Structure 1
Amino acid sequence: MRGMLLDRRALVGASIGLLGACSTLSGRAGAMRRDPFTLGVASGDPAPDGFVIWTRLAPDPLAPAGGMAPAPAAGAGGGAADPAFRRIVQSGEALAMPQEAHSLHVELAGLSPQRPYWYRFQAGGSVSDVGCARTLPAPGALVDRLHIASVGCHDYESGFFTAFGHLAREPLLDAVFHYGDYIYEFGRRARNPLRIHAGDETVTLEDYRRRYAQYKADPDLRAAHARAAFICSFDDHEVDDNWAAEWGKDGGATAAFAARKAAALQAWYEHMPVRRALRPGSGTRYFRRFDFGALMRMHVLDTRSCRSNQLCEARGDDLVCEERDDPARTMLGAPQEAWLAEGMDREPGWHFIAQQVLMLPFDVRADGADAAVRSTDNWNGYPAARRRMAALIADRQLTNVVIGSGDMHQHLAGYLPTDLDDPLSPPLASEFLATSITSGGTGSPRQPHQLHTLDHNPHVKLLNNQRGYQLYRVDARHWWADMKVLDQVDRPRGRLANLATYVVEQGRPGPILS
């Protein structure tokens, strides 16, 4: 069967002492002539009673089918209450199927809330790395503090995934939000002679599988996945740069793009620690919600699958521009908008809108330009949809909303203004946009053409062009956002520093330098 535990047993009522954070992981045990666990292990989509554990059998990651024969392969997986696996809480056998790239998605359930568990897989006489993940708090439980990281945008050719290695060593980490751009679809561009894509631009299912295998074999990325549960979304490069719903970047809404998108989303599912409900199909909903007790409700949005086409898109030799303020234009689609509105009727400590692209108004004009310039690939290109989002917050009089975003390859801290046409109007919701892991290269404090960008964006408090990630420390009264930056990604062993910490006070939107 496909990635499900057989003969699953839960040791209900076992004496399990409540442990602290996931500790340093134990090493690998066992051996086989060809190690099938070259892509490591991962966990994700946590719940109060469990989470998904993932691996893919691939003894030769860049070979067709990862070096596996075109037949089901037997494996086993399970979880334990301690890193030495003395107290097994669930275990069972599983089949890795060739039609899903010999990946395994095992949904552990029946576990205790708000505590760490350790997990691993076995196949062919080999034992995988050990991973660790925390279950969510029980519904409505009082939670003192959470630690959530925000990461994304790691182009293999742009540098080393050193930031993931540092993330794996964070002392406190409840979960990781991955906003997207997990892979890049481009062919070889020789940006860094030490990091070159295997193969040409990804188009077919085998292309995408090989690209994921190349990325997931990276030791720093493997370490980060083993450290904590990932809550994964996707942006554009998992499919095609700047795609929107059925429209591709180059040819528009064609049969060729539909086939490419289907292959890309199949490969995304095969390589992400997500539940079987996210297996691609006509009714798949990639947006979902996670409650961290009474402290935080996390709304994970999908800003690609249902959005209207880009404002200006090349179609053949023509550049076709849609009407910017057409009220029918959408970023989320009507069903997702309704789902989000329903979920924000509840009043937890915080609402975290975890999504992919910049939401606040932003003028990207280069220094010296007179007229404002807006992106067409983020919420600035969908002003009617952004007005509906702002109204959703304002109509409920919510003062506890934090927006997480990415894609821009820079750290940004700012706020969505009450009047979207007036950046000097009072804050409606805070926004933290996490920089890239590698995309954009080593970078600098500010891009050369952006030295005066903040002059045109007074609601933006920080703009930084270095690589890294963000770490959120959340309690009932405060949301702290640490801006982690690396000194370089061109070579291994880049040094990590905390550039700045911003804080949002409960009931007072807008980040303040801590």
Structure 2
Amino acid sequence: MTPAARPSQHAPELRAAARHLNRRRFLTVTSAAAALAFATNLPSAGIAAAAELDAARITENPFTLGIASGDPLPTSVLLWTRLAPAPYQPDSGLPAERVTVRWELAHDDRFRRIVRRGTVTAHPEFHHAVHVEVSHLDPGRVFHYRFRVGNWVSETGRTRTAPAPGERTSAVTLAAVSCQAYHDGYYTPYAHLAQDDVDLVFHLGDYLYEYAVDAVGGRRKYTDRTLPAVFNRETVTLEDYRLRYALFKSDPDLRAAHAAHPFVVTWDDHETENNYADDIPENSVPPEEFLLRRAAAYRAYWENQPLRRPQQPAGPDMRLYRRLHWGRLAQFDVLDTRQYRSDQAYGDGAHVPGPESDDPARTMTGRTQERWLLDGWRASRALWNVVPQQVMFSQRNVDPTTPSRVSMDAWDGYRASRRRVLDGARAARVENLMVLSGDVHSAYAFDIKDDFDDQTSATLGTEIVATSISSGRDGADRPETWDTYMTANPHLKFYNGRRGYVTVALGRERARADFRTVPYVLTPGAPVTTAASFVTEVGDQGLKPA
């Protein structure tokens, strides 16, 4: 990584080049970059004069990657699917032709009371993905949906609209998930989440991993199938990322969770490359080449996630931070802490904070997103202000000594940026602040202190960290670092290294977090238990055992 403490001054020019790189430029960049240039400069849907495919010619199930919904609004739902009769082939088993997809939205799962229906075109330019924004719906309602192509009918999904603006909603239950390395184990936690009664799911990053997956699925050790060789390489090109989403979305438990609940997604690093920061890659790759890879990763992310039109990328840029509301009960400020951040100080690992990491100019969010967050808090009328984001927000000392090393990739490596956010929360009189995080493959519960080195300072909020779905393999209830971390961080209330997810029930008097874990993911079928539960009271922040 470079020693630069702030994003590259050349980033605008490099992004513009990544958007507009043409065929003549193929001769002046590497072959990998040239392939990316071609992939990321595909025309927008509707520009290419693709013929229309007769759906009767589709002889295999096109809904192998499931269905999904996302970003519920008071009068609108977003529905997603991608047609892939042969998901492990680069063309997904379809010719480069348009396909007409019919969709239906109903009050009941038998579709006897249809609310809306229509058609949408699956364009080959977007790998036959569709994003349907259904509007003019009643707030606070549950709906069922499905898609049709020719004689094929998708599974049925369940989604919902958010409550009306200003409604004094009494409760909302959310789930937080993160980090689903396919090669590290089965997605068993999703099977249990699909059965839980939650209103929406926040995916906090690492939906995809760029690492190679071998013929037996890594730690899954398949004996009944052999994965194609196309997965046994790191993702670099648009084709690579598209195929990797197909592999991950082929998991039945992930598909079940998507069908059961609307998802609100944000990325971390592995959707593109480990530990990248803005236009700076993990390794010594030229920024212009990395931005081409980033453009490919962002395009594939859009194609494979239930996202609305404002999130559609332009080359290597994608506006992923956004705000959702749940009546007057909760405001959700979804952050992107990867695309705009300064380069990590002192490398990517653990280090004692110093002048480089504490440079006031360093940013985790970028100036524009930071101002958006603080302005949103000042305008908020919600009882709970919840910040779903990627990396650990609270201080986490990894040594029992003073000073201690901390992670340079988390907010600990951007302490001035964290200070501005906390000062902004105080200035906005945010009384019930909750940060949702992922990334670290363990479950944590923190009190967010005004000064983490002074435990008598005010508690400004709580942080709930979701463990991984599968990354890190089975894990343990008490990781090797348990004693050290619990001793070195008095504001840490819970630490568990098993796989799973967390549910959070927000009410008008308190919030309750239940950490749900499974004992193993190296083989399928594990049961789920609640490892611990905590509450924090409205107007009296701080976690207490439930």
Report the TM-score when normalising by structure 2. 0.85
Structure 1: how far apart are the matches of 2:540 and 2:530?
24
Structure 1: how far apart are the matches of 2:276 and 2:142?
38
Provide the identity percentage. Answer: 39
Aligned residue among 432, 445, 449 for 1:400: 432
Structure 1: how far apart are the matches of 2:437 and 2:182?
21
Kindly indicate which of the two structures has a greater share of residues assigned to helix. 2
Q: Assess, with a 3 A threshold, how the Cα gap between structure 1 residues 327 and 471 changes in structure 2: closer, same or farther.
A: same
Aligned residue among 292, 295, 304 for 1:271: 304
Structure 1: how far apart are the matches of 2:187 and 2:431?
36
Could you tell me whether the CA contact under 8 Å between 2:138 and 2:161 is conserved in 1?
Answer: yes
Q: Can you list the C-alpha shifts for 1:48-88, whole angstroms capped at 9, x where unaligned?
A: 01111000000011101211111112211121111111121
1:3-14 mapped onto 2 (5 Å cutoff):
none
Counterpart residue number, 2:221: 193
Aligned residue among 446, 461, 485 for 2:493: 461
2:387 matches 1:350: no
One-letter amino acid of the counterpart of residue 325, structure 1: D
Q: Assess, with a 3 A threshold, how the Cα gap between structure 1 residues 370 and 287 changes in structure 2: closer, same or farther.
A: closer
One-letter amino acid of the counterpart of residue 310, structure 1: Q
Could you tell me whether the CA contact under 8 Å between 1:49 and 1:111 is conserved in 2?
Answer: yes
2:190 matches 1:175: no
Counterpart residue number, 2:180: 154
1:428-507 mapped onto 2 (5 Å cutoff):
428-507=460-539
Q: Can you list the C-alpha shifts for 1:24-70, whole angstroms capped at 9, x where unaligned?
A: xxxxxx99630000000000011001111000000011101211111
Report the TM-score when normalising by structure 1. 0.90
Counterpart residue number, 1:260: 293
Please report how far the alpha carbon of residue 370 of structure 1 lies from its aligned counterpart in structure 2 after TM superposition. Answer: 7.1
85-94 or 155-164, which deviates more: 85-94
1:346-385 mapped onto 2 (5 Å cutoff):
346-365=380-399, 372-385=404-417
Please report how far the alpha carbon of residue 2 of structure 1 lies from its aligned counterpart in structure 2 after TM superposition. Answer: 5.1
SS at structure 1 position matched to 2:206:
coil
SS at structure 2 position matched to 1:344:
helix
Could you tell me whether the CA contact under 8 Å between 2:298 and 2:318 is conserved in 1?
Answer: no
Point out where structure 1 has 5 or more consecutive residues left out of the alignment: 4-29, 315-320
Structure 2: how far apart are the matches of 1:309 and 1:248?
9
Q: Assess, with a 3 A threshold, how the Cα gap between structure 1 residues 389 and 176 changes in structure 2: closer, same or farther.
A: same
Structure 2: how far apart are the matches of 1:188 and 1:244?
24
1:29-108 mapped onto 2 (5 Å cutoff):
33-108=59-134
SS at structure 1 position matched to 2:121:
strand
Structure 1: how far apart are the matches of 2:166 and 2:480?
48
Counterpart residue number, 2:273: 240
Please report how far the alpha carbon of residue 142 of structure 1 lies from its aligned counterpart in structure 2 after TM superposition. Answer: 1.5
CA RMSD between the two structures: 2.0
Structure 1: how far apart are the matches of 2:156 and 2:279?
39
Structure 2: how far apart are the matches of 1:142 and 1:31?
51
Counterpart residue number, 1:229: 262
SS at structure 2 position matched to 1:67:
coil
One-letter amino acid of the counterpart of residue 73, structure 1: V
Q: Can you list the C-alpha shifts for 1:358-396, whole angstroms capped at 9, x where unaligned?
A: 00111123x7x7751110111011011011011011223
Counterpart residue number, 2:324: 290
Please report how far the alpha carbon of residue 244 of structure 1 lies from its aligned counterpart in structure 2 after TM superposition. Answer: 1.0
Aligned residue among 137, 140, 162 for 2:166: 140
Please report how far the alpha carbon of residue 259 of structure 1 lies from its aligned counterpart in structure 2 after TM superposition. Answer: 0.9
SS at structure 2 position matched to 1:393:
helix
Q: Can you list the C-alpha shifts for 1:95-127, whole angstroms capped at 9, x where unaligned?
A: 111111100000011110001011111113100
2:361 matches 1:333: no
Point out where structure 2 has 5 or more consecutive residues left out of the alignment: 1-43, 47-55, 349-353
Counterpart residue number, 1:386: 418
Structure 1: how far apart are the matches of 2:151 and 2:232?
31
Q: Can you list the C-alpha shifts for 1:185-237, whole angstroms capped at 9, x where unaligned?
A: 00136334239792310000000000000111111000000001100000000
Structure 2: how far apart are the matches of 1:417 and 1:206?
45
One-letter amino acid of the counterpart of residue 301, structure 1: L
Structure 2: how far apart are the matches of 1:380 and 1:134?
37
Please report how far the alpha carbon of residue 421 of structure 1 lies from its aligned counterpart in structure 2 after TM superposition. Answer: 3.3
SS at structure 2 position matched to 1:472:
strand
One-letter amino acid of the counterpart of residue 221, structure 2: P
Q: Assess, with a 3 A threshold, how the Cα gap between structure 1 residues 253 and 402 changes in structure 2: closer, same or farther.
A: farther
Q: Assess, with a 3 A threshold, how the Cα gap between structure 1 residues 438 and 31 changes in structure 2: closer, same or farther.
A: farther
Structure 1: how far apart are the matches of 2:72 and 2:384?
18
Could you tell me whether the CA contact under 8 Å between 1:311 and 1:322 is conserved in 2?
Answer: no
2:336 matches 1:302: yes
447-456 or 111-120, which deviates more: 447-456
SS at structure 1 position matched to 2:169:
coil
One-letter amino acid of the counterpart of residue 213, structure 1: A
Could you tell me whether the CA contact under 8 Å between 2:219 and 2:522 is conserved in 1?
Answer: no
325-334 or 244-253, which deviates more: 244-253
SS at structure 2 position matched to 1:118:
strand
Counterpart residue number, 1:9: none
Could you tell me whether the CA contact under 8 Å between 1:423 and 1:457 is conserved in 2?
Answer: no
Please report how far the alpha carbon of residue 322 of structure 1 lies from its aligned counterpart in structure 2 after TM superposition. Answer: 8.0
Structure 2: how far apart are the matches of 1:191 and 1:84?
39
Counterpart residue number, 1:22: none
One-letter amino acid of the counterpart of residue 83, structure 1: D
Please report how far the alpha carbon of residue 253 of structure 1 lies from its aligned counterpart in structure 2 after TM superposition. Answer: 5.1
One-letter amino acid of the counterpart of residue 299, structure 1: D
